[in-house]
């Protein structure tokens, strides 16, 4: 009789459960987002009649472009890995070497153009044009990444959101260099830095809030 009651209790508890769809592996989910990033980059390139002038324009530009692209890829991978509870906190360090290289090369490119007449980005109008590309790209990339990360209900909400913001910001900067290859002036570099920091900050705030709500919400 006792076994029958236990079986009945288990059946009763299990009857109201809904099946949970298993998450795809982190690398596969990162690849899906990177596919979205590639589509956005291609759309910007076609719409703005971009040109592959990354080598001819400056010896620093192509390495900076690659470093920004690698930063976006590694930050996305790290975000999806850290969204799972059994992954190590060490994933947060994965994109940092590429990030440091990207920032260093961008700074060297800026120094190389100091004093050069008619350098692009030396006026507010030109700098704002770059800002619009970064901001517009991030607006397309960030919501998709946050939505994909949210499905995992990450416990380390702020760190996952921070990595997601870095992936979106680096992706947006990569698109900028693809469609408008040139070294940054001091003004241009400052505008880039503020815009990228804003993208990372807004993603961290929004993602951290949404991930926290998803994690603590009681099932209906």
In the chain, where are the structural domains located? 26-216
Compute the Cα dihedral for 121, 123, 126, 128 and give only its sign: positive
Q: CA–CA distance from 116 to each of 109, 123, 176, 185 (Å)?
A: 12, 14, 22, 10
Tens-of-pLDDT digits for all 220 residues of the chain? 456 665 665 555 555 555 556 668 889 999 999 999 999 999 888 887 655 555 556 677 889 899 999 999 999 999 999 988 888 889 999 999 999 999 998 888 777 666 565 555 566 776 787 788 888 999 999 999 999 988 777 778 888 889 999 999 999 999 988 887 666 667 777 888 888 899 999 888 887 777 766 555 434 3
Predicted TM-score of the model (pTM)? 0.80
- Structure-block tokens of residue 205: 């705030």
**54-79 burial string, b = 16+ CB within 10 Å, else e?**
beebbebbbbbbbbbbbbbbbbbbbb
């Amino acid at each position: 009789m006792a076994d029958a009651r236990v079986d009945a209790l288990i059946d009763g508890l299990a009857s109201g459960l809904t099946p949970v769809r298993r998450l795809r592996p982190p690398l596969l989910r990162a690849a899906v987002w990177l596919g979205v990033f590639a589509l956005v980059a291609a759309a910007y390139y076609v719409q703005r009649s971009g040109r592959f002038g990354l080598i001819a324009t400056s010896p620093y530009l192509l390495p900076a472009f690659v470093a920004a692209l690698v930063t976006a890829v590694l930050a996305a991978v790290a975000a999806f890995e850290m969204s799972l509870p059994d992954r190590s906190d060490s994933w947060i360090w994965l994109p940092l070497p590429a990030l440091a290289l990207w920032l260093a090369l961008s700074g060297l490119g800026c120094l190389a153009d100091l004093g050069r007449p008619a350098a692009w980005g030396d006026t507010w109008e030109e700098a704002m044009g770059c800002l619009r590309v970064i901001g517009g790209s991030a607006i397309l990339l960030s919501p998709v990444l946050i939505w994909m990360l949210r499905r995992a209900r990450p416990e380390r909400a702020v760190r996952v959101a921070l990595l997601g913001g870095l992936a979106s910001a680096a992706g947006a900067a990569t698109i900028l260099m693809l469609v408008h290859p040139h070294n940054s002036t001091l003004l241009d570099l400052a505008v880039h830095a503020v815009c990228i920091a804003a993208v990372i900050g807004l993603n961290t705030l929004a993602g951290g809030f949404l991930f926290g709500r998803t994690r603590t919400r009681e099932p209906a």
